[in-house]
Amino acid sequence: MARHSRPTLRHLLTACSLLLPIAAFAATPDASVAAKNGREEPHPLVIAHRGASGYVPEHTLASYALAILQGADYVEPDLVMTRDGELVARHDNELGLTTDVSQHPEFADRKRTQMVDGVELTGWFSEDFTLAELKTLRAIERIPTIRPGNARLDDSLEIPTLQEIIDLVKTLQLSERRRIGLYPETKHPTHFQQLGLAMEKPLVRVLHRNGYASRNAPVYIQSFEVENLKTLSRMTQLRLVQLFSSGQPYDQQVRGSKLTYAQMATAEGLKAISRYAAGVGPEKSYIIPRDANGNLAQPTDFVPNAHAAGLKVHPYTFRAENVFLPTNLRNGDSPAERGDIEADIQAFLDAGIDGLFIDQPDIAVKVRGQ
């Protein structure tokens, strides 16, 4: 796909723009396709990480559409808040890395420095812009040196709202004749709560309004924080997923708690998570760490312990380029060259995972089929 010509990509973008006007008419009340397709989910789930972000700039309608056409079961929008309380898809609330905001002189005075989750950041922030203002920006590739093909689409794609993503998904699941899910992540929920822009109620309101309300709905809501997942568990029956990073969840730091991700990853910690979540999303090394040479070591007991607690396991992030792969699975010396991601995926499938986040969904679909 990375070698596709610009006309081919333009055709995809045109198709995306044409889909939205008919989406409202295409949607079904329960956000699912015909009953004959059933509600059994594929195994393992292929979750398109920020869409097909290995081929098209992340968190754009083109990225989500391509992921679905490649066979992804779920698409993942990271969600941040605008000044006027709208949910939009960006990896972070800082906009400089993924939009052309720096090229807009009318927004030069919006650049500022602030603390986000305990880290000092300088840039432009979603909470300082209305949705109408954000719609004047265009997406750019976040890692252009690794994905120069994606950068060809810089400045051509809008920032989508959650509603626009839902409309696209509902339309494509009809044409694809299969169930397609949403896997939103609440980004920086404590930060937005402190600004008076708490995300939980708006997120649940949009999902419920679109027919995503029951535990059987094709939705997982994920977060690196704990308390906002517990809040969501009291507001909706939708399935929740606790993400894992290093150190402490930021909300636990704010609360003065000593709880760490390492403690949460123990058998007892996973049992505690099962009281408010249906699954866990660990960084890959929680399941198979790398040795001193950068190669995959032996699997840990994370997956069996999570399964014993009744939790699904959806690790992140699988990426095809050398720079992201174990040393022995790389192809040549270029960080951007594609390595043996198939072997990387297979190792984790053998470890018993239930799904995976991937930037190139078509590869995971192919490996699953084999």
Is the residue at 114 inside a domain? no
Q: Is 59 a catalytic residue?
A: no
CA distance 150 to 57: 6
| Residue in the structure block whose two tokens are 């990073």 | 245
Domain CATH code at residue 200 = 3.20.20.190
* From 49, 188, 191, 314, active-site residue: 49
CA distance 188 to 333: 36
Per-residue confidence (pLDDT) for residue 39, from 0 to 100: 62
Contact 110, 130 (CB under 8 A): no
Task: Round the average pLDDT of the chain to a whole number and report it.
Answer: 92
Is the residue at 189 inside a domain? yes
Is the residue at 336 inside a domain? yes
Phi-psi region of 223 (alpha: psi -120 to 50; beta: other; left: phi over 0): beta
Is the residue at 317 inside a domain? yes
Is the residue at 120 inside a domain? no
CA distance 23 to 173: 11
Domain that holds residue 220: 45-93+135-369
Judged by DSSP in three states, 245 sits in coil
Locate all alpha helices (DSSP H) within the chain, ordered by sequence: 6-26, 61-69, 131-134, 148-151, 162-176, 189-194, 200-209, 227-233, 250-255, 261-264, 267-273, 302-308, 341-350, 361-369
Q: Is 91 a catalytic residue?
A: yes
pLDDT tens-place string over residues 152-192: 999 999 999 999 999 999 999 999 999 999 999 999 999 99
| Sheet arrangement for strand 355-358 | 181-182, 74-75, 45-48, 355-358
* From 4, 11, 59, 91, active-site residue: 91
pTM above 0.85, yes or no: yes
Is the residue at 50 inside a domain? yes
Per-residue confidence (pLDDT) for residue 36, from 0 to 100: 38
Is the residue at 145 inside a domain? yes
pLDDT tens-place string over residues 136-152: 999 999 999 999 999 99
Split the chain (370 residues) into runs of 10 and give each run's mean pLDDT: 44 51 40 46 96 98 98 98 98 97 98 97 98 98 97 97 98 96 98 98 98 97 98 98 98 97 98 98 98 98 98 98 98 97 98 98 96
Q: How many domains does the chain have?
A: 1
